[in-house]
Structure 1
């Protein structure tokens, strides 16, 4: 009798362990209900041209864009797919005003020496000698941003159409590239990133075919991305994202055949298709938790350009050490970035 009771107790104990393990596994197993596995372009169907993006210390991504031209909107996301508008970098009272009646274009966000630094273009349409690049700073990515004034203007730096800034830091040195269809130039900045290093000279690194420069380092090469064509003509826009590469930051940048970007040669990364046109002015490339690389850029709906330059995202692949987007054009629906 005791043996039978012991056996029965052992069975019940084993079952209770199994039940506990099962409950524990259910609790520990993550839910997939809220994980985004696919996305559709555009990821933002409102006009947000000239995007720049950063992953902040709080774990969120923050994206800044040209619209509204006066105040610079800020979007926030945890997964690069679902974005919400959380404010603007400036207000009507705090926006830069050193160029009267101008708009704030093509911002570039960075984290430098413990603060968020936003480089921006200030210009009026056609003001190629009066436009320039300024700086604003903030303690948090959502601001408030304090304008620090101009870094330089076209007429002081000697480069016509000085807009579209991009910041680069390497080996303790800081650089800025900029330019729009009048050459892309590079210059070294001071240690704080808020002024030009004393004695620094500008260096031209690209010809007159592109604007919106962005540099990405991968393996042995620096990749200079830019936008060629017309940006802002609705369904007639010919904008496209292009690239060349170099073994040195200041070039020479060349295409696949070795022809120089100084002579306006490049490789096409993204161009229009039946749905989207004007595919250009890309953001920084962002890497997800599985090592996939993603690029943002703007485009018009071919059938509804009045919606403005909407925000698109696509994955960058690498073939023979060159960046490639599938079909060289925007996707309609694709696998989403992965974040754990």
Structure 2
């Protein structure tokens, strides 16, 4: 697949990679590792019907198709688009939660579910899980699924508070009697929670996502000893009151650094974060970025709290993978 306006990339030094790792628009990434050992990435549908990309190393990505076609794409929100998918392996299936929304439709948007037997699809749309005006949470977008202590939960929300709710054992419906619980304040969207060393780390994005080079999107984090919080910054101030630590902000090369995917650990135990940004060299859309996360005194950090331009690649052992 080709993309207009994207020129040839300079050769990278041996053992290094260059940001962006995909130099065309792939906003709001989510990633899962398939049974074949390859990584599959999904994004907001700037490419219609939810683009799917595949990689062996998190650096080199190939477009392999879309989750839906024109006949199978979700349609419960009239004139809506699929935003910010979240991909998961639940049992023997790949389950994608997605936002279905149109710009400004904060009470009619909602979260839907699609399933597939393989990460490359095709996905079977199961329709709406809930809608904003039914669940009572305005702007119900940006889903994130997590399993904890034998239970399954969905987190979601966008600048109207981050909320969570328990799901059924198969992850395909809201648990009987479950009610939304607010987890964090009104400064955030794009939730992702990572468990490490006895803490839950709530990553989120704050600021404006979609104003091109004026975008102020910033990746932030808080932590808690409990999945449902309270999440706080280093000083113990609560995310419920919009306190947090900055993980990645913009720099002279990139603006709007936010909406990270799931963290990935390489074969050396190093942690990596995928996210999107607006490139000052190619400002049309939100390109795919990759950076290493280090852990210092129990907190995640990216070097300089800003995107790298040229950095050392993730470490992977040489393996032969079957690729259909």
Contact 1:36 1:336 (C-alpha < 8 Å) held by counterparts: no
1:223 & 1:80 partners in 2: Cα distance? 22
Which of the residues 285, 289, 295 maps onto 1:312?
A: 289
Which of the residues 167, 172, 182 maps onto 2:145?
A: 167
Contact 1:99 1:123 (C-alpha < 8 Å) held by counterparts: yes
Partner of 2:84: 106
Deviation, 1:287, is 0.3
- Stretch of structure 1 that moved more, 62-71 or 94-103: 62-71
Partner of 1:338: 315
Give unmatched runs, 5+ long, in structure 1: 1-34
Q: Larger C-alpha radius of gyration, 1 or 2?
A: 1
Contact 2:81 2:102 (C-alpha < 8 Å) held by counterparts: yes
Deviation, 1:38, is 1.1
Partner of 2:269: 291
Deviation, 1:68, is 2.8
Which of the residues 3, 9, 32 maps onto 1:54?
A: 32
Q: How does 1:130-279 map to 2 (within 5 A)?
A: 130-279=108-257
What do residues 198-244 of structure 1 show as CA deviations (whole Å, max 9, x unaligned)? 01121110000000000000101100000000000001000000000
Contact 1:217 1:223 (C-alpha < 8 Å) held by counterparts: yes
Contact 2:213 2:255 (C-alpha < 8 Å) held by counterparts: yes
Partner of 1:322: 299
1:82 matched to 2:63? The reply is no
Contact 2:45 2:81 (C-alpha < 8 Å) held by counterparts: no
1:100 & 1:127 partners in 2: Cα distance? 10
Q: What is the TM-score when the length of structure 1 is the normalising length?
A: 0.88
Partner of 1:22: none
Q: CA, structure 1 residues 69+133, in 2 after alignment: closer, same or farther (shift >3 Å)?
A: farther
Deviation, 1:303, is 4.2
The runs of 4+ residues in structure 1 deviating greater than 6 Å are none
For the aligned residue pairs, the C-alpha RMSD in angstroms reads 1.1
Q: What is the TM-score when the length of structure 2 is the normalising length?
A: 0.93
Higher helix share: 1
Partner of 1:121: 99
Deviation, 1:147, is 0.2
